Chains A and B, each alone.
Chain A
Amino acid sequence: MFPLTSNAPLDFFNMTASDLAIVLLMIAVFVLALVLPYPRRRPPKGGQP
């Protein structure tokens, strides 16, 4: 597995563990922003929105 406690370069893209952690965090935040529900307006009854 990746040497997550060291700063040694990983095999791909010369990534260090901290680089990988940041990329994973960004992907996590992005996916969360996509899937988290947000407040939606209720459509008004019998009128133009």
Chain B
Amino acid sequence: MNWTTRLRRWLVREIPMEDLLPDRLPEYVHSYVYFFGVLTLASFLTLVLSGIVLVIFGPTWWHISALGHFVNSVHFWAVQTFFFFMVLHLWAQFFMAAWRGGRAVNWVSGVVLFLVSILTAFTGFLSQQNFDSQWVALQGKDAFNALGVGGFFNILNFGQIYGLHIVLLPLLLAALIGFHLYLVRSKGVVTPIDDPLAPNEGAHHDE
């Protein structure tokens, strides 16, 4: 058996189409508490789309033109909703102990996503190039030097920070989000605590 056949069989076993794009979900998923994850994802997609437009036209455009200001603001406010809903998603998953039933790796990937998101937001803040961001870069360089990574990350260097912000960190985020969603679809949505109607914990592909 060659590797493509093995990969296909693994994909079909791990995430069959009815799990990947389900048309039926457990009733408790209608609760608004289950809504925060997909709102975070929607904010991320808004960030990617508005970010691509900003990258195409460049810093002068987003600083000077009216349309540039608008797209820059869309990008800025999408970050606010991204973190707003991500933290609410974190609370929701924490209080329903969403690592139950073999979902520990998904919890850990969420923690990593949170940390990478903070780095991405930080490099984004530095890329704004306004006085606030220059001031933060000047202050933050001492922290980076104290950590011993000042030789690798010069946060006063716009080109370096901008490159991290628009290429490396978004790609890392997208890969981690893909992994996070794959685990959600593969393991199924976590059941509420103390729900007598909920299927058994740890059930694969629970419905």
Contacts and interface: CB of A to CB of B under 8 A. Distances in A.
Interface of A: 22, 26, 29-30, 32-34, 36, 38-41, 49
B88 A26 contact: yes
B35 interface: yes
A16 B91 CA distance: 22
Identify whether the interface residues of B are mostly helix, strand, loop, or mixed: helix
B87 interface: yes
Given A33-B35, A33-B36, A38-B32, A26 B27 contact: no
Contact of A30 (B27, B30, B88, B197): B88
B169 interface: no
28 contacts: A22-B84, A26-B84, A26-B87, A26-B88, A29-B88, A30-B33, A30-B88, A30-B91, A30-B92, A32-B32, A33-B31, A33-B32, A33-B33, A33-B35, A33-B36, A33-B88, A33-B92, A34-B32, A34-B33, A36-B32, A38-B30, A38-B31, A38-B32, A39-B30, A40-B27, A40-B30, A41-B27, A49-B197
Interface of B: 27, 30-33, 35-36, 84, 87-88, 91-92, 197
Contacts of B84: 22, 26
Contacts of A36: 32
Contacts of A49: 197
Contacts of A29: 88
Nearest to A32: B32
A32 B91 CA distance: 13
Given A30-B92, A36-B32, A49-B197, 7 more contacts: A26-B87, A29-B88, A32-B32, A33-B32, A33-B33, A38-B31, A40-B30
Contacts of A41: 27
A15 to B, nearest CB: 15
B63 to A, nearest CB: 24
A16 to B, nearest CB: 14
